[in-house]
Amino acid sequence: MESKNPVFNRSRQSAGWQGATPTPGHLQNMYDSPSYAPSAPPAYRAMTIDDVVVRGFMTLGTLVVTAAAAWYLNVSLGVAIGAALVALVLGLIASFKMSTNPALILGYAAFEGVFLGAISSAYENLYNGIVLQAVLGTAFAFGGVLTVYALRVVRVTPKFVRFVVAAGIAAIGLMLVNMIAGFFVAGGLGLRTDSPLGWIFSIAMILLGCFFLLLDFNSIEEGVRQGAPEKFAWQCAFGLTLSLVWIYLEVLRFISIFTRSD
């Protein structure tokens, strides 16, 4: 089956004989012909799961190191917001260009780590132990989604992909509207408040992050099966990092609601 992903669309022609079984004489004449030349091997090494794991550790490792540095240095809110904006720009470039540039992806991870370190430190100062709970929650979500995908409990079909992408766009749109409404009405639409609507929205955002993880796992599996170039492992690592950051922030916010309620 041919993939619709442009990264995987490689001309992988079969070398099988299409006509009648050739005789030894036919084969000898073909090999002796000046126009005959064996097909060249691919100009790239195909991606493997190990490539994705290594790039994933490098990307997440960069994020964790810069987050720890920002926490230790007690980075100010202004610096954290600036880092978040830079990470947003780099992330958008990497997403829309389907970039496999290591510098771009590691740069995103570094700036995102600064933001995560600062915001995590702020939450930890308010609610002792919340960061560890959020990290464990994110790890459990990752393991659970990986298990669900491996057991084929949920199949990633083109219809499912369209649903997740549409839901992601709608969620971002709702958050922007909620933020703008917050300038005029306290709490905006109530999507980020300590209320039943806020709880439901936070749970929906966590589930949406898990759905994006399913798309990431499917992209990795498809890339390995279709023989995508080794460099595509960087884009897979970027996708995983993006989804895990989404889940972590949503889990952190969700836990803070009920910690505050206590």
pLDDT tens digits for range 112-143: 999 999 999 999 998 988 999 999 999 999 99
Query: Six-digit token pair at 157?
Result: 């079909």
* pLDDT value at residue 58: 95
Separation CA 193–CA 260 (nearest Å): 11
Separation CA 193–CA 190 (nearest Å): 5
pLDDT tens, residue by residue, 152-194: 888 888 899 999 999 988 988 888 888 888 788 777 777 777 7
* pLDDT value at residue 197: 83
The mean pLDDT value for 90-102 works out to 89
pLDDT confidence of 68, banded at 50, 70, 90? very high
Separation CA 213–CA 207 (nearest Å): 10
> Crossing angle of helices 232-261/49-72, nearest 10°?
40
pLDDT at 98 over 90: no
Please report, as a single letter, which amino acid is at residue 162: R
